[in-house]
């Protein structure tokens, strides 16, 4: 039984769900939400804060500031509360209400951007506000998850080795793309290992990460309105773009089996199901997808039927094109 003194010291890193009974697909899901922050973002947050401390960038009176759609904000709120730092999260109107309340409960200040930037959307507007804060007050320290190499280093050190240990015969790995920290950490690890693992990035329709056309996105988490500087396309073997409604449908299918995962996880799984059906068929395949979070923070959107019907149409949940098994 582990005994910890800081909340960021606990993380379940070896839990996988066999999705064949639930989705009829040869796919294992690596669950990353079993920690006090409730998402995979705790790994990157802890690594970036530790680096800032080691470099002496965090000084008495410093105020951590970060742009986040929610999960990293919760993770940094947790770490800041435990270490006695002030933290300001710059988010936007898509951030789940429960997520905002969680950050505030741990003492963080939350600034919500209400208008997207003409170029870059809500992310562009959030980044502009962070830069404005840092320019006017040198107490603000921006960890900058979009450029900070410790974002991907955290997963190179932990997430990818955990998958490699559990699945020595891994064929395909599906990773959602947002800041691309998880994607780059895992992709770099497997490419450097020399193992013949196909790394597939899963992105949302409307995201510009892989140079697709920009469009509206309503589910926080995956996707971006600005191409992340961390991304190195040479490490990625393939890319799948998933319409949000498909992510919602997969999430509901799993919830009906007692597995309540977040919208980001639904996106990754929808992409994985389509890719496996198109590329592997009945061929024996060992495939793993990474689940960034659980579903409690999505009860006001992804799992709220009235919200789904309003955003995607009154029959959005009736035509489940993701049901392939």
Secondary structure E strands in the chain: 16-18, 28-31, 63-67, 86-92, 109-113, 140-142, 172-176, 198-204, 238-242, 287-291
Going by the DSSP 8-state scheme, the letter that residue 115 receives in this structure is S
Q: Cα 141 to chain center, whole Å? A: 22
Of 131, 121, 145, 172, the closest CA to residue 277 belongs to 172
How far is the C-alpha of 60 from the C-alpha of 55, rounded, in Å? 14
159 φ/ψ sector (left φ>0, alpha ψ -120 to 50, else beta):
alpha
Is 68 one of the catalytic residues? no
Secondary structure E strands in 5-108: 16-18, 28-31, 63-67, 86-92
Q: Around 259, how many Cα atoms within 13 Å sit in the side-chain half-sphere?
A: 23
How far is the C-alpha of 62 from the C-alpha of 138, rounded, in Å? 8
Residues 6+ apart with CB under 8 A from 72: 41, 44, 45, 66, 145
Both tokens of 78, joined, read 């947790």
Question: Contact at 8 Å (CB) between 114 and 93?
Answer: yes
How far is the C-alpha of 196 from the C-alpha of 167, rounded, in Å? 13
Q: How far is CA 284 from CA 61, 202, 275, in A?
A: 56, 21, 14
Is 264 one of the catalytic residues? yes
Q: Considering the candidates 41, 43, 204, 207, report the single residue annotated as catalytic.
A: 41
How far is the C-alpha of 118 from the C-alpha of 121, rounded, in Å? 6
Active-site amino acid positions:
41, 264
């Amino acid at each position: 039984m582990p005994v910890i003194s800081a909340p960021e010291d606990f993380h379940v890193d070896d839990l996988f769900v066999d999705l064949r009974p639930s989705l009829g697909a040869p796919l294992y899901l690596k669950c990353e939400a079993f920690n006090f922050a409730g998402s995979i973002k705790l790994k990157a947050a802890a690594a970036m804060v530790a680096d800032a401390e080691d470099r002496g960038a965090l000084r008495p009176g410093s105020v951590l500031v970060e742009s986040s759609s929610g999960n990293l904000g919760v993770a940094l709120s947790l770490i800041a509360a435990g270490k006695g730092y002030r933290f300001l999260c710059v988010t936007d109107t898509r951030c789940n209400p429960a997520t905002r309340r969680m950050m505030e409960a741990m003492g963080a200040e939350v600034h919500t951007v209400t208008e997207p930037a003409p170029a870059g959307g809500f992310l562009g507007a959030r980044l502009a506000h962070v830069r404005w804060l840092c320019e006017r007050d040198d107490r603000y320290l921006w960890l900058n998850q979009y450029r900070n190499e410790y974002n991907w280093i955290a997963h190179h050190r932990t997430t990818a080795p955990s998958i490699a240990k559990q699945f020595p015969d891994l064929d395909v790995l599906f990773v959602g793309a947002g800041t691309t920290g998880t994607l780059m950490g895992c992709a770099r690890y497997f490419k450097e290992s020399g193992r013949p693992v196909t790394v597939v990035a899963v992105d949302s329709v409307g995201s510009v990460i892989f140079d697709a056309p920009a469009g509206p996105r309503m589910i926080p988490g995956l996707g971006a309105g600005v191409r992340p500087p961390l991304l190195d396309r040479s490490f990625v073997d393939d890319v799948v773009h998933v319409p949000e409604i498909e992510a919602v449908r997969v999430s509901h299918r799993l919830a009906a089996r007692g597995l309540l995962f977040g919208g980001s996880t639904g996106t990754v799984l929808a992409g994985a199901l389509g890719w496996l059906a198109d590329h592997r068929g009945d061929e024996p395949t060992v495939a793993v997808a990474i689940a960034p979070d659980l579903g409690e923070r999505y009860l006001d959107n992804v799992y709220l039927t009235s919200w789904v019907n309003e955003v995607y149409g009154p029959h959005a949940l009736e035509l489940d094109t993701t049901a392939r098994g």
